[in-house]
Structure 1
Amino acid sequence: MVFAPRERYALSTKDVLSWIFDDVKYDPDKPVYIDAANAERSISSREARAIVRQLAAGFDAAGVKAGDCVCVHAFNDIYYPLIVLGIIAVGGVFTGTNPAYTEHELKHALRTAAAKWLISEPEILDPLHKAARSLDIADSRIWIFNPLPNQQVPRGWKSWKALLEQGEKDWIRFNDLDTARGTIAMRLFSSGTTGLPKAVDVSHYNVTAQHDLIWGRHVANTSFEDIHLFPLPMFHAAIAFRAHTSTLKEGEKTYIMRRFDLEQFLANVERYQVTCLGVVPTMALNIIKSPHSRKYSMKSVRWCMCGAAPLRPEPQAQLQKLLREDCPVTQVWGMTESSCSATRFEYPEKDTTGSIGRLIPNLEMKLVDDDGNDLGEVYNVRGEMCLRGPTIVPGYYNNPSANAQSFDADGFYHTGDIGYCDATTKLWYIVDRKKELIKVRGFQVAPPEIEGILLDHPDIVDCAVIGVQHLVDSGEPLEAPRAYVVRREGCTERDLDEEAVKNYIKPKLARYKWLDGGVRFVKLIPRSANGKILKNVLRDEARKESAGRRPSKL
């Protein structure tokens, strides 16, 4: 027995580009993407369509083939979504990487996604170029993304604008279910339930279904003009679908910030009278605690959604007080494997309980126990939440073992999140996480990635990494990685202390993967008979320490 969808809707089977551009229901000349730093820079649907066709011709002339993966390594810009759509138009597969990534992280990402072509901003080219050279990706397959007036193309490199000089070419078209399900549009990163970051194949069908089941219905349910502000990074699954496809599909006025800056974000909300906000908990906490929230008004906001990690009811209520009195602040739950959101609240419903809402239409849920047994359609009973439906991705790229571990024979994706459905309200709640994934400020951190680097240290013989609650300057607890480390025999605290361990990983990993949760030195790492790290034991130790009790001696 499964939790069946409350509603089912017929869905598009078109390719993403035809779905966006063939039936535009708004003024195609009105600005859609707008640079928040310079509102004179904007792109309309008509302009976007022409640029995408030019990019398709340029990629085709360069030799990009159907199925080739093209990596975009860049900060946010109004032209970023058009590059994504240009890649998809020629039959390619888009993948994006974090501009903060080091050479080590980029090498893993490029290899895992099987990227063959690269597009990078000049300021962050160096680590990408080094990673590309180590993987034998030729310089001739790299373009420089320099959309801003002050960005220069380094000597010897070619600008992405050269792609616009090959005329126009129509995108690859189709309109049948099998092709829509089987053709990959994006390859986004997720750590899944365990292990290093994995490349998630997202089909054309996933992309269009995500919009039609959520955003298309949201627009139909509201009477105000949707005005968006996007400060979240466009490579991230939390915003990728909304930024690259839904914006053009609906023609909503969308202001793009190059990156998140709190005061500038708040100033933009007031300046552009933003009505729809998507935030992550870290942003919400920063807004609440900042004196800038009293300097700028957020009363234009009519609807606010928080995702990527849980937000406690207290800050959720505090955030709501900064917005219009009738503005709902609600939470959603999702992951890359569900093409972002799997649950939500329908506007204008409010919530103050910390719920993640209800399943989106067409999606099924089942709960399983620790042994994978189906618990049936039961209420107020906790179990691992498993999903099936049109937004669930085909799987991880070139990773059969991860697919076998995460997708069962009935087509359900096992999320690793433990939750239950309330019998009265039918609202869902997340209560625990079976998987070892750490969520840091909305970003996913895979402990094995940090563990692998630590084990390269000559004075570390064993280690384990878990997520712990870490108090930031605002006093709010946020999750952060903590390492439990076993020194080699003969190694003392003078040879290897906490700061030395922290400093060892800093040049190798992005800032959010640093060990802000601390380092604990132990005599041994608890393991099962088959050698698996017993991270539940370490979590218990961390909870005891946090509660002020003396942890046991490991």
Structure 2
Amino acid sequence: MERIWLREYPEGVPTEIDLNEFASLKDILEKSCRRFADLPAYSNMGVTLRYRDIDRISRDFGAYLQGRGLGKGERVAIMMPNVLQYPIAVFGALRAGLTVVNVNPLYTPRELEHQLKDSGAAAIVIVENFAHTLQEVLDRTPVKTIVTTQLGDLFPFPKRPLVNVVVKYLKKMVPAWHIPGAVPFRRALAMGAEQTLQEVSLTHDDLAFLQYTGGTTGVSKGAMLTHGNLVANLQQASAWLSPVSRLAEETVITALPLYHIFSLTANCLTFMKVGGHNILITNPRDMPGFVKELAKVRFTVITGVNTLFNGLLHAPGFERLDFSALKISLGGGMAVQRAVAENWKRVTGMLLIEAYGLTETSPAACINPLTLQEYNGSIGLPIPSTELSVRDDEGRELGIGVDQVGELCLRGPQVMHGYWNRPEETAKVMTADGYLRTGDVGYVDERGYVRIVDRKKDMILVSGFNVYPNEIEDVVALHPGVLEAAAVGVPDERSGEAVKVVVVAKDPALTAEALIEHCRQHLTGYKVPRRVEFRAELPKSNVGKILRRLLRDG
């Protein structure tokens, strides 16, 4: 497809990136730590680590991991919310030549066991609030090295013990757990400080992250994101930022969880590269507390999903904050709604810019110009070094225009190298000429802006998180009172979409409440159905396939 979108690029944004400027994420991190040594890098609950601190502490943690016998390419799972230990653990693992496996801390034992076994993780770093979940499944996983941390472990004395005592004993947020051989995070750092971090040579082809995403089979798959993929996306993102962003001057609010690919790349990594300051929000659902944190800093950038921005707009006191320094408001993970974008601009004075990406694209693929003045309803322009092709069901490329609707396909250096140990699944999404089938249906307008009209996949998008119907259906079917079930997405004011299950009951006494409680035992909160509908039968095709479309429409 002709790259007509290049004509719409803001002045100063290159059409291609220099992929060879950095050899790896490790290279970017170490250069940033030297260049911005005295600047603040990450802050949480009023405590700040500067780039020189990140350099020293991540070095110690990397040395500890190597000292445990972990070799290049082995997988380290990291299971924690937005706390200071997260960048330390990630950067330490990367500097040691290891592969990071991000894990949602709210996973149920079933979900955690699958991810640890599938990835072959040899180690895990986990906030002890969730250690009881690990305890349940540990014996059935390959994990041998366990590092546990408390929320306040990188805070100075006396704040550190105070926060940890309050969390554990007063708020009772740490269920009882017992894992023999688990090493406390601070002890691991002390041990690492006495060891040498062995230099590991990394190239663009080395695996940096196994980033798990749902699948049409209901099985979560690990997208293989290499150092080259992430270097490319950081180069693309920083190029796109250049018209409005200044090196070493930005303060970004990081409220989305860092284990999510959007926050990982757009916040944690991109602003590390440009010497920015990440303000880590541990619990953004506490809107009053979130607003209090925002009042303490003159932030220049904020990223999030539509529901987060909408929640802030309705939070008491938000409209009274100082937005004079705000340059960039970036929404991704789900569609930005016109009403939210326009209300955001009315309150903050800045337009809420929509971006688009997937786990499989590291994630950025299309972003609206950051100089945009009005909401336009598009997902933006393909970013530098990114090719986009709109294709019909037979794989033929379509043209430009609203009448040329097809599946959006992407090619570029940020596209994953495939799914971990799943060549068949990889083959389903990659074309012969190297394009990723996104599963999203849309078109490119006459100016080059990309517009999505539908999702080809049955994926449900809950507050920016992918939920795949087959996984929900598998869990629902485990209930002895269920004959068969189908899961679909339905509109929801708070989360954009919510999960609805339509059930044919085997037990006539089965209730919606009992089924939802069953799901809570096996699924992370955002995957749990919000609605249950009972029917005598499910609509099916002539070959017996459940027609989810009819359930959504009905």
TM-score of the alignment, normalized to the shorter chain, above 0.5: yes
Matches of residues 237-256 of structure 1 in structure 2 within 5 Å? 237-256=261-280
CA deviation map 1:117-137 (0-9, x unaligned): 111111110111212222253
- Shift in Å at residue 467 of structure 1? 0.4
CA distance in 2, matches of 1:469, 1:356: 20
Is the contact between residue 72 and residue 118 of structure 1 (CA under 8 Å) also seen in structure 2?
yes
Secondary structure, in 3 states, of the residue corresponding to 2:19?
Answer: coil
Note if contact 1:3-1:377 (Cα within 8 Å) is conserved in structure 2. Answer: no
2:522 to 505, 508, 516: 508
2:134 corresponds to 1:143: no
Match for residue 187 of structure 1 among 210, 231, 237:
210
Among 75, 83, 93, the residue aligned to 1:77: 83
Q: 1:400 to 1:358 in 2, by over 3 A?
A: same
Cα deviation code 1:366-399 (max 9, x no counterpart)? 1112333322455652111010000111011111
Change (3 A) 1:128 1:96: same
228, 241, 244: which one aligns with 1:218? 241
State which drifts further: 191-200 or 344-353: 191-200
Q: Which letter does structure 2 place at the counterpart of 1:528?
A: S
Q: Deviations over 1:252-281 (max 9, x none)?
A: 122112221222222222320111110211
- Which of residues 77, 86, 109 is equivalent to 1:103? 109
2:503 pairs with 1:481: no
Q: CA contact under 8 A between 2:108 and 2:133: conserved in structure 1?
A: yes
CA distance in 2, matches of 1:9, 1:349: 22
Seen in structure 2, the aligned counterparts of structure 1 residues 471 and 497 have a Cα distance that, compared at 3 Å, is farther
Contact 2:484 2:505 in 1 (8 A): yes
Give the secondary-structure state (helix, strand or coil) at the position aligned to 1:43. strand
Closer, same or farther in 2 for the Cα pair 1:509/1:277, shift >3 Å?
A: same
Question: 2 CA distance for matches of 1:394 and 1:21?
Answer: 25
**Residues 58 and 357 from structure 1, CA distance in 2 versus in 1: closer, same or farther, beyond 3 angstroms?**
same
Structure 1 residues 95, 136: closer, same or farther in 2, change over 3 A?
Answer: closer
Size of the aligned set, in residue pairs, is 519
> 521, 536, 547: which one pairs with 2:549?
536
> 1: distance between equivalents of 2:120 and 2:186?
24
TM-score by length of 2: 0.88
1:418 CA displacement: 0.9
**Against the structure 1 CA distance between its residues 195 and 367, is the aligned structure 2 distance closer, same or farther, given a 3 Å change threshold?**
farther
Deviation digits for residues 454-512 of structure 1 (CA, Å, limit 9, x no counterpart): 1111111111101011345xxxx720011111112xx32xx112222212211221111
Identify unmatched segments of 5+ residues in structure 1: 542-554
Query: Could you say which residue in structure 2 is the equivalent of 1:48?
Result: 54
Give yes or no for contact 2:120–2:142 (8 Å, CA) kept in 1: no
Match of 2:173 in 1: none
**Backbone CA RMSD of aligned residues:** 2.2
SS at match of 1:332: strand
1:59 equivalenced with 2:70 (yes/no)? no
Q: What is the CA distance between 1:82 and its match in structure 2?
A: 1.8
Query: Secondary structure at the residue paired with 1:508?
Result: coil
User: Which of 16, 20, 31 is the equivalent residue of 1:22?
Assistant: 31
Return the TM-score normalized by structure 1. 0.88
Q: Give the aligned residue type for 1:537.
A: L
Partners of 2:391 and 2:2 lie apart in 1 by 10
Distance 1:99 1:266, change over 3 A: same
Matched, 1:328 2:351: yes
Task: Report deviation, 1:299.
Answer: 4.1
Match of 1:548 in 2: none
Please give the residue correspondences for 1:230-269 in structure 2 after superposition, counting only pairs within 5 Å. 230-260=254-284, 261-269=286-294
Letter in 2 for 1:242: A
CA separation of 1:371 and 1:193: change in aligned 2, threshold 3 A: farther
Partner of 2:408, secondary structure, is strand
For residues 325-474 of structure 1, the aligned pairs below 5 Å read 327-377=350-400, 380-423=403-446, 425-472=447-494
Q: Contact (CA 8 Å) 1:287, 1:319: kept in 2 or not?
A: no
Q: Which runs of 5+ in 2 are unaligned?
A: 7-14, 153-159, 169-176
Determine whether 1:33 maps to 2:57.
no
Match of 1:273 in 2: 298
CA distance in structure 2 between the partners assigned to 1:530 and 1:15 by the alignment: 49
Shift in alpha-carbon separation, 1:291–1:97, aligned structure 2, 3 A: same
Change (3 A) 1:309 1:73: same
The CA distance in 2 between the partners of 1:368 and 1:86, in whole Å, is 42
Alignment match, 1:8: 16
| 1:31 counterpart letter in structure 2 | P
Please tell me the residue identity of whatever aligns with 2:263: I
Query: Aligned to 1:214, what secondary structure does the other structure show?
Result: helix
Give yes or no for contact 1:193–1:416 (8 Å, CA) kept in 2: no
Q: Is the 8 A contact 1:190 1:200 kept in 2?
A: yes
Q: CA deviation at 1:295?
A: 4.5
Alpha carbons of structure 1 residues 460 and 280: separation in structure 2 relative to 1, 3 Å: same
Contact 2:74/2:98, CA 8 A, preserved across alignment: yes
How far has the Cα of 1:223 moved from its partner? 5.2
